[in-house]
Structure 1
Amino acid sequence: MSKRVLLVEDEPNIIEAIRFILSRDGWAVDTHVDGASAVDKVLAGPPDVLVLDVMLPGKSGFDILKELRAEPATVDLPVLMLTAKGQGRDRELAERYGVTCFMTKPFANAEVLDTVNALKAGALGQV
Structure 2
Amino acid sequence: MRPLFTGLLTAALALGSPVFAQEGAVSGPGAILRGLDKVNGHTVDAELPVGGSAELFGLLVTLSDCRYPEDNPTGDAFAFLTIREPDTGIVQFEGWMIASSPALSALDHSRYDIWVLRCNIS
Scaled by the length of structure 2, what TM-score is found? Answer: 0.31
Higher helix fraction: Structure 1 or Structure 2? 1
TM-score of the superposition, structure 1-length normalised? 0.30
